[in-house]
Amino acid sequence: MNAIEQTDVLIVGSGFGGSITAYHLAAGGAKVTMLERGPWLESNDFEHDFLLGSSYTRIFDFTVGDGMSLLGGNCVGGGSVVYFAAMPRAPRFVFDRTGSIGRRMWPAAISRDVLDPWYDVVSEALPITTQSWEDVSYAGGLFAAACDHAGRTANPVPTAVDNSKCTNCNWMMAGCRFDAKRSLLLNYLPAARVHGAEIRPLHEVQKLTRTENGGYRVHYNTIDDTDYRLSNGSGAIEAKIVILAAGAGATPVILQRSAADLGGMPHAVGRYFSGNGERLNNAVINEERARDLLGLDRGDDIAYLANQIGKGPVVASWDNLDGNLPEHSRFSLEQLYFPPGFGTILAQVPDAQKPSWFGAEKTEMVRRWRSWLTIFTMVEDDNEGVFGPPPPTGNAVRISQQMLGRGPISYRPSANTLRGWDESDAVVKDILERDGLSRVTPWTNDVVGAYTVHPLASCRIGDDPHTSALDDRHELRGHPGIFVTDGSAVPGALTVNPALTISALAERAVPGIVQAARERGVDVTYGAPTPDGSTSGRAGVRRQLPLLTRK
């Protein structure tokens, strides 16, 4: 019988939660092995098309559930490869939310003040900057002008984009072939590899079991590079520490499948899922009104006609991010480019009484697609999602050879969530339909259910063992040595893009993981600078270390 492979730390997933922890643990001297379900693509591999088998279908995971669909990354670098690089910090009121449990969802140990030094570290590492109005795309400028006309404010969004490399091609969502988007392929991951971390793509983790010496055995299947429905092998690796960072749609499934071998899972594993309260509205802009009402002119008497030009989110309206407003009435509005394919299919005809994907009106609407403006809303939902029994393998039953699967998530929006969507829809219509500027139509939830590109909270941190799967240092309750550092650890909707918060929480979790690894015999230390060597963000971090390394 062949000996089982050994490592110090096994990390499942290579997005923000996995890459950040991999870097610090490898830099501290641990042997780190990372298993990633998706392929490993580099800059030149990212293609500007939507063909089956292109990079676009290879790097996404689109899971259709019952009332909720999840869109995430499926590649080395995870969500950082397919995100729009918007990196705002969560508003202060978020950390005091009570949500559906009627008491503070976040651990008492974490507030905005506590998280700010960790936000600083990530902002330095990527780095993150706020674009100037000169960098804003036509779509962002149009949204800002419409907000101003409606008496609202708008601001460029902090992003992880190098504007000196950006070509305004607007293919950011499909991976950036120009290295303008600062994905993890350009910072934490290469730095982790320099320190010896091993990254294995096309390895889909199925479950965890215990070893006799108190560690864990991680069981995986190797996935075909072309048809993700096929497995061409399997194996197992033993580790002293396991970090789950497979995403909020996969991490709870792995743990549920592991329950029979590991023993009972915390009640909150696979419960309290949040779609970050996300919703999309499309506006079909009246070009003449954009010119005459807002004074916009690209030249040659063209006001806009530029949906396809630019970057990801660059302008947002944050007027409703007011802590004095009641919960579920707080939300952000963000100008967003959603590429043809998703956008043209799900966008509804304005004022339609039922889903209207086809017909003469839809044809005319699609014909005018360059005049579209898409507004992305993030409200406070009620953590309504629940994961059912796991599928035989993976996080979903694969429907097609790439990208599409049927998952075990069930989601029924509460009255609170529905009210938040209704209130935000009304604001979008007030901004964009004022004085005939456009006609607004929401993407329907009636047939396909809700949808999210930022799944959260399916294994969340907290103080209450009944409503949180993890303690405030991200360790799985009842299972020492297993940590969760992806979006599933975030307690609930943030009202803004969550990538920076996920990253800051992962940075904050590292000192406790290092201590746990040392207690299990791993010779590892904490204190590496950010991947580019910077240390200026460390002062606030050092003050928190005694609390994070407590026993």
User: With helix as H, strand as E and coil as C, how does 303-331 read?
Assistant: CCCCCCCECCCCEEECCCCCCCCCCCCCC
Q: Looking at the predicted structure, is the pLDDT value of residue 551 above 60?
A: no
| Model pLDDT for residues 368-416, shown as the tens digit of each residue | 889 999 999 999 999 999 999 999 999 999 999 999 999 999 999 999 9
| Model pLDDT for residues 286-340, shown as the tens digit of each residue | 999 999 999 999 988 899 999 989 887 889 999 999 999 999 999 999 998 876 6
Q: What confidence score (pLDDT) does residue 442 get?
A: 77
268 versus 299: the higher-pLDDT residue is 268
Quick count: other Cβ atoms within 10 Å of Cβ 434?
15
How do the residues of the chain divide into helix, strand and coil, expressed in percent and rounded to 5? 30, 25, 45
Where are the alpha helices (H) located in 263-309, listed in sequence order? 287-294
Handedness of CA 309, 312, 314, 316 (dihedral sign): positive
Q: Which amino acid is at 89?
A: R
Mean pLDDT over residues 412-434, rounded? 96
Average pLDDT, the chain: 92
pLDDT grade for 354, boundaries at 50, 70 and 90: low
| Model pLDDT for residues 233-244, shown as the tens digit of each residue | 999 999 999 999
Strand partners, 70: 63, 452
Strand partners, 373: 283
Q: Looking at the predicted structure, is the pLDDT value of residue 1 above 50?
A: no
φ, ψ dihedrals at 268, nearest 5°:
-80, -5
φ, ψ dihedrals at 208, nearest 5°:
-120, 145
* Structure tokens given for 40: 């490993």
> If you ran DSSP here, which 8-state letter would residue 432 be given?
H
Q: What confidence score (pLDDT) does residue 352 get?
A: 62
Distance CA 532, CA 520 (A): 30
Contact 69, 162 (CB under 8 A): no
Mean pLDDT over residues 447-467, rounded? 92
Work out the percent of the chain whose per-residue pLDDT is above 90: 79
Mean pLDDT over residues 446-460, rounded? 87
Mean pLDDT over residues 198-213, rounded? 97
* Structure tokens given for 43: 């800059």
**Residue 68, CA distances (Å) to 279, 364, 392, 490 in order:** 12, 29, 20, 18
Quick count: other Cβ atoms within 10 Å of Cβ 42?
12
